[in-house]
């Protein structure tokens, strides 16, 4: 998320009531989650496991919970609770206005687009030309939809990211301020859900088709002309490259890449990134031929044990 107006590092640190180290005159231009940061952004880290990643990421400012040696290209803000400070910055720069009508006055609807009864379209939504939004689909604020897009009934686009901070007493919700961007010629099946980015964008590429009841997590970027079958669950921060094909009920863990033209067979559980152009199966998913061999061997285990038992008895 980019700020409407940049703020100097010294002023931001003072507002947060935190010490800082770095260039006091640095102009901070945005705030982003660590996976989508750019130069000028501020991000946060509150676990030693991710210190190195945060200190090497493109962000110009890092809110961190421990005094560490400052890299030359970084500016640091120190806080006992970086999550809360990061959240504060977002909350102060975002707002939620309750809807007063089904289609917001700020929404822009393109020529030839058909909107069926019961559709909700929120603030600052853009819908392109020749689209069809079927009954009871819901488009949250700030969503951008291209031309020739079909969205089937009871689909929700732009719901909050499933992003929580574990506290001793409970889980704390993190506010989502990202968007969903849907490119031209996309079709999204009935009952599907596409979450907005935490601070960046969730993207559905041109020509991609989603079946019914597909879930796409926050900040996931799906490439062009992908096919995703019913009941597939895609976690946050996943990159699915062009022409990938994911069959029904497959599950994909967070922060992975599915290579160009890769095929994930039904009910597979993907726990690591997959290479281009290969077919995968199983849980954990592996190359389909090898996994099929494993299944065949497992099926024969009892037969092999029986043969060994017979040989032992015949001695």
Cα 50 versus chain centre, distance: 19
Active site residue 134: no
* Whole-number Å distance between alpha carbons of 211 and 234: 13
| Residues paired with 182 in a beta bridge | 145, 204
263 strand-pairing partners: 245, 279
Integer Cα distance of 225 and 209 in angstroms: 7
- The Cα 249–Cα 241 span in angstroms is 19
Angle between helices 9-16 and 82-93 (to 10 degrees): 110
Half-sphere exposure of 247 (CA within 13 A, CB side): 12
From the list 134, 183, 215, 218, the catalytic residue is: 218
End-to-end, the C-alpha distance of the chain in Å comes to 75
96: left (phi over 0), alpha (psi -120 to 50) or beta: beta
What 3-state DSSP class applies to 175? coil
What secondary structure letter does DSSP report for 39?
T
- Classify 257 as helix, strand or coil: strand
Helix (H) or strand (E) holding 179: strand 179-182
Residue 278 neighbours by CB distance under 10 Å: 15
Active site residues: 218
């Amino acid at each position: 998320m980019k700020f409407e107006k940049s703020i100097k590092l010294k002023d931001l640190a003072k507002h947060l009531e935190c010490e800082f180290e770095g260039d006091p005159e640095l102009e901070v231009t945005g705030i982003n989650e660590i996976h989508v940061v750019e130069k000028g952004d501020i991000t946060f880290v509150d676990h030693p496991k991710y210190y190195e990643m945060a200190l090497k990421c493109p962000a110009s400012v890092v809110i961190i919970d421990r005094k560490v040696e400052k890299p030359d290209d970084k500016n640091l803000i120190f806080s006992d609770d970086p999550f809360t400070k990061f959240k504060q910055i977002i909350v102060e720069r975002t707002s939620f206005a309750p809807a007063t009508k089904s289609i917001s006055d700020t929404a822009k609807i393109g020529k030839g687009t058909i909107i069926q009864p019961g559709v909700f379209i929120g603030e600052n939504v853009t819908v392109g030309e020749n689209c069809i939004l079927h009954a009871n689909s819901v488009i949250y604020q700030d969503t951008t939809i291209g031309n020739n897009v079909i969205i089937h009934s009871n689909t929700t686009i732009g719901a909050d990211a499933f992003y929580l901070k574990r506290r001793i007493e409970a889980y704390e919700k993190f506010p989502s301020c990202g968007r969903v961007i849907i490119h031209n010629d996309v079709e999204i099946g009935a009952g599907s859900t596409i979450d907005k980015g935490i601070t960046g964008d969730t993207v559905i590429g041109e020509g991609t088709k989603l079946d019914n009841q597909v879930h796409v997590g926050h900040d996931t970027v799906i490439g062009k002309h992908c096919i995703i079958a019913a009941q597939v669950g895609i976690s946050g921060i996943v990159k699915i490259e062009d022409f990938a094909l994911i069959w029904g009920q497959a599950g994909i863990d967070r922060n992975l890449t599915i290579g160009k033209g890769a095929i994930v067979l039904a009910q597979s559980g993907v726990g690591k990134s997959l290479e281009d152009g290969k077919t995968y199966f199983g849980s954990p998913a592996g190359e389909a031929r090898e996994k099929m061999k494993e299944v065949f061997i497992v099926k024969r285990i009892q037969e092999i044990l029986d043969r060994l038992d017979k040989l032992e008895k015949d001695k």
